Structure 1
């Protein structure tokens, strides 16, 4: 089949690889100049099935999204069943990533394990319902006291208040952008074409489906027709002006921008803003554990902290709070004068779950709405979607995670 993918974040690149490995002819359209240039650029780096649902949030049943639709989603009697399916997909995705890492010999910055930090006894009480959900899904979550937390992460500030924590061994933190680039190369070896600086203007369902796109380089460097220089991943010439192509299937991995492309679906997807700071870790021989060993989540402050190679990254919604959290837990660990800042949106649906599978429109498929679990779900969702497009029974059941729940 000839298949188009819209979006080259970690979801789009993973989908491209899986489809190409099945023998399909795949073209990826991306408005930026490279893969993983938006929400996948400097995200938390977490691949953690245990955090696929936001059970660590205060009132974790309250998901983002439009107020009335969110209210309805909370009271949907089928939501617990869909949450269990999501956790199974997340576990499957974690294992699929491990398989790809072994088979393709992928070597990217990564560290294993995730520790949820609980500042107070009240924090521990707040997550009790979430721990019950994880237990039902068969996801290991070990409750630790403060001393055990510090044994797991020796760099934790001994003077800062810590009630305890939850260790999720089935988790890792890694460089999502680095992995996306490696998967891109593997996809290209299988014949995938990447069309960067190319904006998709419209998608028309049908058999075949039609896609209108336009080459849109940055204005300050836009070349004329005779000086067009191909991107390293652009495997065919890019014509100027709107172009239309026909495909047997189109997979939309464009996050919150998908709603504008597929207006007839009325996808209730909203952008949720995040920001991150990344800085080198100080190297002191007398303090080898000055920063984190793996990944941590500050439950009260809702901040992710993780080790990315020889750097530390914190992600949340407010930069000042990120600096404060790093000072609380790992004072003096980062090189403050070399901080890299990032901010951007990811798409969330009212029930906090992704939308995967057929759109109900001929030839159009969906892989979006992963929220802040995009890295966690990417490999599993891509594999399951590839099997659906081939009309095979996916290894993991996506029922309840498709668009029919919004009908």
Structure 2
């Protein structure tokens, strides 16, 4: 269930193991929601749980600096307030074990992504290296502590002087204040949607994966031994004819994997699970590069705001946001876009042609703390690959392999225990 990047990679891994796989998605194509225009970071050095020490201060400070990643309203509903409360409490708890688990999963994912790319000679937009930019000595000190942990986990992380940062990214604005940087040389950028489209073709043509688009799973019935999938399929309509109501159908399967994004909660509830997954919205602006070449070579991340500026072929993409309500304003008028434009002007003021921006808003399915859930659900035949938050692209290939190994009964490449659903069961 789900044809975002997590669902596509899971379908592929299960298919190469010999399973007959059907993918359900309510949209008309793959990677239509949270995977459509994300930052593209493939970066073990940047993954972390939603809750981490210092995040409360970082987000709240942004509310008063016009660079805010956080957007919220006091009239949140009960589930949103509950999620915020869990997140708030978890922010000051020790997170080392969770970070370790996520970095290890991201490293596995990066290796698996590289293997798939090489095996099928995939040509999608990608570049090497991620540079974390630090504006102050305080940010540099905090990043030094994080770098020490990353190095212990096998991540190639190098502290840089401002001069060295400008050698790596020579088009950075000269007058902007810069205390230094952290180079993640083995990390990089990849066009998530392009990869998903290519992997869909491989899964369908080489391994017989069936994709059923325009199909929304409504519920699972796990009381009959085998899971029964209740779904609605949009009826095909000929030109000039009236649209018919969706067809309601039920089909049995040996196993069901829930890879849906923020829309998966009703299906999870039907399977007896009430996971606190919240759609946390992010934004991106994608612009054509100007001909004079004042553009990033790969990717930079502003440590103060969390905003990423990434190179996508002949385009530049600016991504950020942590919005925990559904803003009903027209997308072009959203206040969440201003910090993105300000970040681009701060770091690369001459990079982009501003005349035709592609603006995107996507929901990231986020747990209030901890790693994603990858493994069996309590109901027989139901498996989970959910809750990746803003790191779905960095974790997708590794999560898919970890899940496929568990379904096959093989010894996984890494310990599955940190990704168990058990801590969330009540």
Give me the TM-score of the superposition, normalised by structure 1.
0.89
Cα displacement string for residues 87-143 of structure 1 (whole angstroms, at most 9, x for unaligned residues): 111101100000001111111000110000111112212333322321221212101
Instruction: Provide the rounded CA distance (Å) in 2 between the counterparts of 1:228 and 1:108.
Output: 40
Distance, in Å, in 1 between the alignment partners of 2:219 and 2:232 is 10
Judge conservation of contact 1:356–1:402 (CA < 8 Å) in 2.
Answer: yes
Q: Secondary structure of the residue that 1:336 maps to in structure 2?
A: strand
1:72–1:158 distance in 2 versus 1, CA, 3 Å: closer
Assess, with a 3 A threshold, how the Cα gap between structure 1 residues 54 and 158 changes in structure 2: closer, same or farther: farther
Greater shift after overlay, 107-116 or 68-77? Answer: 68-77
> In the alignment, what sits opposite 1:93?
109
Judge conservation of contact 2:288–2:353 (CA < 8 Å) in 1.
yes
Deviations 1:195-226, CA, capped at 9 Å, x for gaps: 01111111122531110111137xxxx61699
Other-structure match for 2:302: 298
Find the partner of 2:417 among 386, 391, 399.
399
Q: State which of 307, 310, 315 in structure 1 corresponds to 2:314.
A: 310
1:56, distance to aligned residue in structure 2 (A): 12
Q: What's the counterpart of residue 333 of structure 1?
A: 351
Q: TM-score, normalised by structure 2?
A: 0.85
Partner residue of 1:241 out of 247, 251, 258? 247
1:369-384 paired onto structure 2 within 5 Å: 369-384=387-402
8 Å contact from structure 1 (residues 149, 165) kept in 2: yes
Structure 2 Cα separation of the partners of residues 239 and 391 of structure 1: 41
**Quick check: 1:57–1:299 contact (8 Å CA) kept in 2?**
no
Cα 1:375–1:228 change in 2 (3 A) is: farther
Q: Between Structure 1 and Structure 2, how many residues are aligned?
A: 385
**Cα distance in 1, alignment partners of residues 119 and 156 from structure 2:** 26
The answer (yes or no) to whether the contact 2:21–2:210 under 8 Å persists in 1 is yes
- 1:269 counterpart residue number: 277
Look up the SS of the partner of 1:143 in the other structure: strand
Instruction: Tell me, in whole angstroms, the C-alpha distance in 1 between the residues paired with 2:89 and 2:228.
Output: 35
Post-superposition offset of 1:400: 1.5
Change (3 A) 1:54 1:330: farther
Q: 2:264 aligns with which of 258, 269, 280?
A: 258
Is residue 8–residue 36 contact of structure 1 (8 Å, CA) maintained in 2? yes
Which runs of 5 or more residues in structure 2 are unaligned? 60-69, 71-81, 322-335
The residue correspondences of 1:4-23 to structure 2 (distance < 5 A) are 6-23=1-18
The Cα shift of 1:396 comes to: 1.7
Mark the runs of 5 or more structure 1 residues left unpaired by the alignment: 1-5, 230-237
Distance 1:309 1:88, change over 3 A: same
